[in-house]
Structure 1
Amino acid sequence: MKLHLASLGCARNLVDSETMLGHLVKSGWDITQEPSEADAIIINTCSFISDAINESIDTILELAKFKKNGNCKQLLVAGCLPERFREELAETLPEVDFFLGTGAYDQVAHILERHPARNKQICLLPNPEKASFPETDVPRISTSDTTAYVKIAEGCSRHCTYCIIPRLRGKHRSRPANDILHEARLLVQSGVKELTLVAQDTTYYGKDLFPPSNLAVLLTQLSEISEDIWLRFLYGHPESIDENVMKTIARHPNICSYFDIPIQHASNRILKKMGRNYSLDDLRKLYDTIRTTIPDAALRTTIITGFPGETEKDFSILMDFIQEIRFDHLGVFTYSDSNDLPSHKLPLPVDEHTANQRQDLLMNQQAVISAANNQEHIDKTYPVLIESRESDNVFIGRTFFQAPEVDGITFVSSRNLKLGDFVQTRIKNSFEYDLSGEPV
């Protein structure tokens, strides 16, 4: 029996998809990249913002065609979309045989095996907070040979007014360190050269464990697995990142000096409306401390434009702050409204045109900043993790200041490099977001 899985959304979703594939392969399924060949198709969905919802529904409808025009007999929709729209989906999408919530990923093989022929739609949506973490004896089916995401926690206990995640995934639950370390060792043994820690709030890790722990301790333990890998984390929070994390990164050469901390805004007024419990001054102090502790630290953040009540003055404060900090990498999203969000009730909504215009202004400003930052790398030498081949004489890789999938890449001119190797590369040219160079 063959199975095709489409994974949508963020890196955390990708981990869930790889975990499901592990359960399915263990149960005897063969994985195919061609949906036309598949006996069963799974779509692991995202519903964080309206664009993600639309992409999820479009993907479901597109792949549902293979029930008529291919071998597909079972169509399963998993993840955040069925979790968020429990009542509506069964009626809206009659093509779907099974809906699986975020707390039921370990049931995927069981569901497909127990119900080979459809009698009725089945919805399995248990409380996500009661779900156990993935079994470490079920190997993930990695979608990359060189890099892997490691989920260190599930859920979120914060109350950002624009965010649906706590409802979809439950409160923050840190994964036991021994489980994380075991999975990390297996990944390194399989040849993975970079481990990227992910969670909804990675820097909150360990505070709910007994006895309590923290991200700095976990990073130290992971760094001891091998000196020949990179470690990094994504999705830090301005409130919970502290100097212990910074000092730990500074002490360990195999932990990338890279800080992904989504700040969302810089205006105190908007931050308060968002439920973000920090101020513009707090952000200035945070980035000053990072750069004092690690002068070559790479900085990434994420911004929302068009949040209800955002004025020209608020946006000007944000633009000025982005110019002041000069982030290496910046993601900008327009506010996505929905009537199940607390922010939906806030007055003075910003029209779509204005939100998009502000997004464009920020990205145009960032393109200039990024190009200038990249120019500073010319004639410097960095280790580059080689990930793919572009042509006969060009390979593609990343430096420590380029995270997988979300940042730029580095082109390395050579005919004889090995995928998965770290290659000392002198940067020769820079572009808005990418770099190019030659092996030393």
Structure 2
Amino acid sequence: MQNPATSTRVYLASLGCARNQIDSEWMLGRLQRSGAVLVDEPGQADAIVVNTCSFIEAAADESIDTILQLARYKQTGACRRLIVTGCLPERYRQEIVGAIPEVDLFLGTGAFDRIAEAVAGTLCASRCILPDPDTLPVAGADEPRQRALSSMAYLKIAEGCSRRCTYCIIPKLRGRQKSRDAEDIVAEARQLLHSGVKELVLVSQDTTAYGHDGSGAVDLARLLDSLARLTADSRGECAPDEPADFWIRFLYGHPESIDDAVIQIVAKHANLCEYFDVPIQHAADRVLRKMGRRYSRSDLHRLIDRIREQIPEAAIRTTVIVGFPGETEKDFETLLRFIEEIRFDHLGCFTYSDAADLASHRLGGHVAEAVAAERMDAVMYCQAGISAGNNRRYLGRSLPVLVENCVERGLYACRTAFQAPEVDGTTLVRAGSLKPGCFQQVRITEAETYDLMGVPE
């Protein structure tokens, strides 16, 4: 019998983080397998899917704006069905149905595997399908995944989060942590490498807690060891000191679970990027306690010292939140001094985003938005000087870069091992011709605040 989704033209808009992007790629893979035709323009689509984010208020607003913009194609285009998936319906399940009548169907995070039925219109009459997020399926290597052509691929190693940070809604949206089987992750990594991927970026809500959920998986250090030994050709495995033709990095490492085993594995393998993404969120002990972060400023100092003792040139990225309820001027000064002391290579700063369904909403001492914005500006001004100084140390050095794309004639956007995709700076290389998706040795000639410039060697 012919699949009901056959020949349906589908446009999918993906919002939010890298983890959401992977969910979108899995949904696109299922749709393509069902016979749907994927299109690049919403005006061409019979069905439009919006995979949403609602982690903070700004993300929820962007999701709603995108839904309403795309809903116009039900009047002006070919669109017959508008489907909203992901975190927005999961978070606002009570209010969402009546608030946006233009939407034909809402699918929660636990219903991504129903997307082909949703597009085909063969699901039940209910406009809202929101299974318990703890049942959210963790797609495996055999799950079809429709990726945009790129030399980099995100690789999701777990789903959900079992921590209880007071400012975070993720456990409600995604359920408890569920680690993927290590062999399945390695199998997907091998597929990606054979397809031409040159950088694997491991992600989850809490990457360094991989395997801690009692799922039978190995821990992150052993997973990294297995992945680092892969090669992109038929030779099978390579030795730790043997040059490999791809990079691996991991993002979203929790300070509490970055142990010596992980640091030592990164130091051991040449193709594991000496790069640690360590979102500290704050450095004042009283704010950390209010956030539900079970470590202190001293613990953070010791962790970063351990990383730098074992890997002197490690790049360390972090994110911080300012304006958290109860944050005093003294707390903020503590954070600012800590940033100055540590001299992070990369730093992202956010103002606290309040919502009634957060535990932190019930805390006293809410900080005025204008004050929080001033504090964010001060953090980023401080970090700009640090980043500029850190970048100057690369002047004159020869570094391998991954060529990503041609920006303009004779100018290529590339990344070093200490520049993660999408969140860090880039290395711009002036050259007659470079091949995207290949590694190139480059001599650094200029250093700006966040970016580098270089020429091929």
TM-score (norm 2): 0.94
Report the equivalent of 2:235: none
1-structure distance, mates of 2:163, 2:301? 22
1-structure distance, mates of 2:57, 2:376? 16
Report the equivalent of 2:234: none
Contact kept in structure 2, 1:26 and 1:138, CA below 8 Å? no
**Percent of residue pairs bearing the same amino acid type:** 55
**Where does structure 1 differ by over 4 angstroms across 4 or more consecutive aligned residues?**
none
Contact kept in structure 2, 1:90 and 1:121, CA below 8 Å? no
Q: Which runs of 5+ in 2 are unaligned?
A: 1-7, 232-243
SS in 1 for 2:418: coil
Q: Deviations over 1:177-228 (max 9, x none)?
A: 1111111111111111100000110000012245452100000001111221
1:59 to 55, 61, 66: 66
Q: 1:371-390 counterparts in 2 under 5 A?
A: 371-390=388-407
Tell me how many residue pairs correspond in the alignment. 438
Counterpart check, 1:437 vs 2:437: no
Q: Deviations over 1:235-285 (max 9, x none)?
A: 000101101000000000100000001000000000000000000000000
Report the equivalent of 2:248: 231
Report the equivalent of 1:203: 208
1:177 to 182, 197, 221: 182
2-structure distance, mates of 1:144, 1:321? 40
Counterpart check, 1:155 vs 2:172: no
1-structure distance, mates of 2:137, 2:64? 28
Report the equivalent of 1:218: 223
Report the equivalent of 1:98: 105
Displacement after TM superposition at 1:122 (Å): 1.9
Q: Which runs of 5+ in 1 are unaligned?
A: none
Counterpart check, 1:328 vs 2:345: yes
Cα RMSD of the aligned pairs, angstroms, is 1.2
Counterpart check, 1:394 vs 2:401: no
SS in 2 for 1:95: coil
Counterpart check, 1:20 vs 2:37: no
SS in 1 for 2:191: helix
1-structure distance, mates of 2:269, 2:325? 42
Contact kept in structure 2, 1:97 and 1:120, CA below 8 Å? no
1-structure distance, mates of 2:373, 2:132? 36
Counterpart check, 1:285 vs 2:290: no
Q: Which moved more, 1:31-40 or 1:417-426?
A: 31-40
2-structure distance, mates of 1:405, 1:128? 28
1-structure distance, mates of 2:184, 2:115? 21
Change (3 A) 1:18 1:436: same
Counterpart check, 1:346 vs 2:353: no
SS in 1 for 2:321: strand
Report the equivalent of 1:253: 270
Contact kept in structure 2, 1:103 and 1:128, CA below 8 Å? yes
Displacement after TM superposition at 1:121 (Å): 5.5
Report the equivalent of 2:376: 359
Contact kept in structure 1, 2:136 and 2:175, CA below 8 Å? no
Change (3 A) 1:19 1:212: closer
SS in 2 for 1:363: helix
Displacement after TM superposition at 1:109 (Å): 0.5
1-structure distance, mates of 2:82, 2:221? 42
